[in-house]
């Protein structure tokens, strides 16, 4: 499997927790930026002519903030320059404050068949605190336009003043809107973002309180028929995100646009994070890559394990052997011994026990040495 990621870095407003590459004041650059994005797809076309891509993902930023014809144009360019499989999964991220029936109709004409919507919380006061431009009513309007479609809803934990009751209400609204997939993330207060001040002032829930909210949310999601398949991702049967599964299975992907990263032919590379530099590079006929390095040896093995252990699929000894020609338990003998109590074995497969998935980062550090 292989995927395509396109980064649309524009937003209406910067959220208080956001440290993504996104610009709230530069929508006037959308035309120039999208022209460069199309050019970048063309520039990569030749070297990717032997690959077939199974997924396309428009992420951001807020892809739904720009004119939907740009999304249509990007899909047209992809179809001209790259090979898509017969029935690719094509996802667009949408902010509920930026949607309309017309936009959705154009996305669908472009081939989009999966929508990812940032609800975050069903408590308006918390949305305001996050600096989101939408309220719960906007989310309900947005999902009413997506009746019968395959869509995913993002929800966040660890918000200021968030109670179990708030989580219950949020899960109820997300599930009640017929989302086929729900991502439930813990807020990470990044240094330099406005919400970091709340964190320093002790106004955000402590890690163990967030873990409790997570357990509570997980149980509710399970009751409503969402099966967890990765630490933060839950889906109705058959509606797992193919695009994200490809990342965790260490599949190849190509990223277009600023800050987009790629993994191709054993190398990881990243585009510049600077909008002006991106445009200048493309207009001068250069790819805007700033980092490009092979992932080999122990790094590749660690990456394989780290990604696989995030998922409920776990590590397949056979797949590891096929990739690296060795036994993972021998390669990581010390770490395996130390973490054995957190793992469960099922034939050829080893996975983290359900109750330890949420704290996997701490466990996986053992494998770094
Ligand atoms: S909508 Fe998303 S990308 Fe844009 S500012 Fe908010 S969190 Fe960041």
**pLDDT tens digits, 43-70:** 999 999 999 999 999 999 999 999 999 9
Task: Give the residue from 167, 162, 138 showing the smallest Cα distance to 64.
Answer: 138
**pLDDT > 80? residue 369:** no
| Ligand 1 atom, smallest distance to 24 CA | 5
Q: Ligand 1, atom 2: nearest CA belongs to which residue?
A: 61
CA 48 – ligand 1 centroid, Å = 31
Q: Ligand 1, atom 3: nearest CA belongs to which residue?
A: 61
The confidence score (pLDDT) of residue 87 equals 96
**pLDDT > 80? residue 122:** yes
| Ligand 1 atom, smallest distance to 131 CA | 6
Chosen CATH of 297-368 out of 1.25.40, 1.10.10, 3.30.2010, 2.60.40:
1.10.10
- The answer to whether 162 and 213 have CB atoms below 8 angstroms apart is yes
Q: Does domain 2-246 have CATH number 1.20.910.10?
A: no
The confidence score (pLDDT) of residue 358 equals 87
CA 314 – ligand 1 centroid, Å = 31
The confidence score (pLDDT) of residue 255 equals 98
CA 24 – ligand 1 centroid, Å = 9
Q: Ligand 1, atom 5: nearest CA belongs to which residue?
A: 14
What pLDDT digit, counting tens, does each position of 154-177 carry?
Answer: 999 999 999 999 999 999 999 999
**pLDDT > 80? residue 36:** yes
Torsion (CA) 177, 181, 187, 193 in degrees, nearest 10:
-80
pTM confidence score: 0.96
Give the whole-angstrom CA distance, residue 51 versus residue 45: 10
**pLDDT > 90? residue 241:** yes
Q: Ligand 1, atom 8: nearest CA belongs to which residue?
A: 18
What pLDDT digit, counting tens, does each position of 15-28 carry?
Answer: 999 999 999 989 99
CA 10 – ligand 1 centroid, Å = 9
| Ligand 1 atom, smallest distance to 11 CA | 4
Q: What is the mean pLDDT of the chain?
A: 96
CA distances from 204 to 166, 184, 199, 210, 303 (A): 15, 17, 5, 9, 31
The confidence score (pLDDT) of residue 137 equals 98
Give the whole-angstrom CA distance, residue 171 versus residue 164: 10
CA 266 – ligand 1 centroid, Å = 31
Q: Ligand 1, atom 7: nearest CA belongs to which residue?
A: 18
Task: Give the residue from 70, 37, 51, 60 showing the smallest Cα distance to 3.
Answer: 51
- The answer to whether 94 and 116 have CB atoms below 8 angstroms apart is yes
CA 60 – ligand 1 centroid, Å = 7
Q: Are strands 52-60 and 2-8 parallel, antiparallel or unpaired?
A: parallel
Number of neighbours of residue 87 by Cβ within 10 angstroms: 8
CA 18 – ligand 1 centroid, Å = 6
Q: Ligand 1, atom 6: nearest CA belongs to which residue?
A: 15
The confidence score (pLDDT) of residue 124 equals 98
Residues with CB under 6 A from ligand 1: 11, 14-15, 18, 20, 22, 60-62, 95
Q: Are strands 233-235 and 181-186 parallel, antiparallel or unpaired?
A: antiparallel
Confidence of residue 180 (pLDDT cuts 50, 70, 90): very high
Task: Give the residue from 331, 360, 328, 327 showing the smallest Cα distance to 343.
Answer: 360
Domain locations in the chain as residue ranges? 2-246, 297-368
**pLDDT > 90? residue 85:** yes
| Domains 2-246 and 297-368 are alike in CATH topology | no
């Amino acid at each position: 499997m292989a995927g395509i990621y396109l980064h649309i870095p524009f937003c209406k407003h910067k959220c208080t927790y956001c440290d993504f590459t996104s610009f709230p004041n530069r929508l006037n650059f959308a035309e120039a930026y999208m022209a460069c994005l199309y050019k970048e797809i063309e520039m990569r076309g030749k070297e990717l002519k032997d690959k077939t891509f199974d997924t396309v993902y428009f992420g951001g930023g807020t892809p739904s903030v720009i004119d939907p014809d740009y999304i249509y144009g990007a899909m047209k360019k992809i179809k001209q320059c790259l090979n898509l499989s017969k029935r690719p999964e094509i996802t667009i991220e949408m902010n509920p404050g930026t949607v309309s029936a017309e936009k959705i109709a154009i996305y669908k004409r472009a081939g989009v068949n999966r929508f990812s919507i940032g609800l975050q919380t069903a408590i308006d006061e918390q949305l305001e605190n996050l600096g989101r431009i939408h309220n719960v009513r906007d989310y309900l309007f947005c999902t009413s336009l997506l009746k019968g479609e395959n869509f995913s809803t993002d929800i966040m934990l660890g918000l200021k003043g968030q109670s179990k009751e708030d989580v219950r209400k949020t899960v109820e609204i997300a599930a009640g809107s017929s989302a086929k997939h729900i991502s439930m993330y813990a807020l990470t207060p990044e240094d330099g973002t406005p919400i970091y001040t709340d964190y320093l002032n002790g106004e955000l829930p402590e890690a163990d309180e967030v873990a409790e909210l997570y357990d509570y949310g997980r149980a509710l999601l399970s009751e409503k028929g969402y099966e967890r398949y990765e630490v933060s991702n839950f889906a109705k049967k058959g509606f797992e995100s193919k695009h994200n599964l490809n990342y965790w299975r260490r599949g190849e992907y190509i990223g277009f646009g600023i800050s987009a990263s790629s993994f191709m032919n054993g190398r990881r590379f990243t585009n510049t994070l600077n909008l002006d530099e991106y445009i200048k590079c493309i207009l001068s006929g250069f790819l805007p890559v700033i980092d490009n390095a092979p992932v080999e040896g122990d790094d590749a093995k660690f990456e394989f394990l780290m990604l696989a252990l995030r998922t409920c699929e776990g590590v397949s000894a056979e797949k590891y052997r096929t990739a690296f020609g060795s036994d993972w338990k021998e390669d990581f003998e010390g770490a395996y011994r130390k973490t054995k109590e957190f793992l469960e074995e099922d034939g050829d497969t080893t996975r983290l026990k359900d109750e330890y998935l949420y704290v996997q980062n701490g466990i996986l550090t053992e494998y770094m040495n």
